[in-house]
Chains A and B, each alone.
Chain A
Amino acid sequence: MSDDLVRVAVDEERCIGGGQCEMLEPEVFLLDEDEVISSVIGSGELPRPRADVVVHRCPGAAISIVEPQRPSE
Chain B
Amino acid sequence: MALTEQALAPADLQDPATFSQGVPHEAFAEMRARPTLSWTPPSGGDRTGFWSVTRHAPVSEVSRDTDLYSSAVGHIQIYDIDEDALSARASMIDLDPPVHTRLRRLVSSAFTPRHVQSYETAVRSRIAARLDALVRAGGGNWVEAVAAPIPIGVICDIMGVPESDHDYMIELTDHLVAGTSSKPLEPTAYGNTTDLRLLPFNSPAAHGINEYARALGERRRAEPADDLVTKLIEAEVDGERLTDAEFTNFFRLMVFAGNETTRASMAHLALLLMDFADQFEQLRSDPSLMDQAVEEVIRYSSPILYFRRTLTRDTVLQDTPLRAGDKVVMWYAAANFDEEVFDEPLRFDVTRPLRPPNTAFGGGGAHFCLGAPLARLELAVLIGAILSRGIDLRLAGDPVYVDSNFVNGIEHLEVEVR
Residues of chain A touching chain B, judged by Cβ–Cβ distance below 8 Å, are 13-20, 22-23, 31, 33, 35-37, 53, 56-57, 59-61
Task: Tell me whether chain A's interface is mostly helix, strand or loop, or mixed.
Answer: loop
The CA-CA distance from A61 to B114 in the complex, in Å, is 19
A37 touching B365, Cβ below 8 Å: no
Q: List 10 A-B contacts (CB under 8 A).
A: A14-B101, A17-B104, A17-B112, A18-B108, A18-B112, A18-B368, A19-B114, A23-B113, A36-B108, A61-B365
Task: Tell me whether chain B's interface is mostly helix, strand or loop, or mixed.
Answer: helix
The CA-CA distance from A56 to B64 in the complex, in Å, is 11
Asked whether any CB of chain A lies closer than 8 Å to the CB of B140, the reply is: no
Question: Which residues on A sit within 8 Å (CB–CB) of B105?
Answer: 16-17, 35-37
B364 touching A17, Cβ below 8 Å: no
Task: Give the nearest-CB partner of A26 in chain B.
Answer: B114
A19 touching B112, Cβ below 8 Å: yes
Asked whether any CB of chain A lies closer than 8 Å to the CB of B373, the reply is: yes
Within 8 A of A (CB), among B103-145: 104-105, 108-109, 111-115
Task: Give the nearest-CB partner of A31 in chain B.
Answer: B112
The CA-CA distance from A15 to B97 in the complex, in Å, is 10
B109 touching A33, Cβ below 8 Å: yes
Count of residues in B whose CB is under 8 Å from the partner chain? 22
Asked whether any CB of chain A lies closer than 8 Å to the CB of B98, the reply is: yes
Task: Give the nearest-CB partner of A19 in chain B.
Answer: B112
12 extra interface residue pairs, beta carbon distance < 8 Å, beyond A19-B113, A56-B364, A61-B64: A13-B101, A18-B112, A19-B108, A19-B111, A23-B113, A23-B373, A31-B109, A33-B109, A37-B105, A53-B355, A56-B355, A61-B366
Contact of B114 among A13, A22, A37, A57 (CB under 8 A): A22
- Known interface pairs A16-B101, A19-B373. Does A60 touch B365 (Cβ–Cβ under 8 Å)? yes
A20 touching B104, Cβ below 8 Å: no
Contact of A14 among B97, B109, B355, B368 (CB under 8 A): B97
Question: Which residues on B sit within 8 Å (CB–CB) of A36?
Answer: 105, 108-109, 112
Question: Which residues on A sit within 8 Å (CB–CB) of B372?
Answer: 59
B114 touching A59, Cβ below 8 Å: no
The CA-CA distance from A33 to B111 in the complex, in Å, is 12
A14 touching B366, Cβ below 8 Å: yes
Question: Which residues on B sit within 8 Å (CB–CB) of A15?
Answer: 101
Question: Which residues on B sit within 8 Å (CB–CB) of A20?
Answer: 113
Task: Give the nearest-CB partner of A22 in chain B.
Answer: B114
Question: Which residues on B sit within 8 Å (CB–CB) of A60?
Answer: 101, 365-366, 368
Question: Which residues on A sit within 8 Å (CB–CB) of B98?
Answer: 13
A16 touching B112, Cβ below 8 Å: no
Within 8 A of A (CB), among B72-123: 97-98, 101, 104-105, 108-109, 111-115
Within 8 A of A (CB), among B337-359: 355, 357
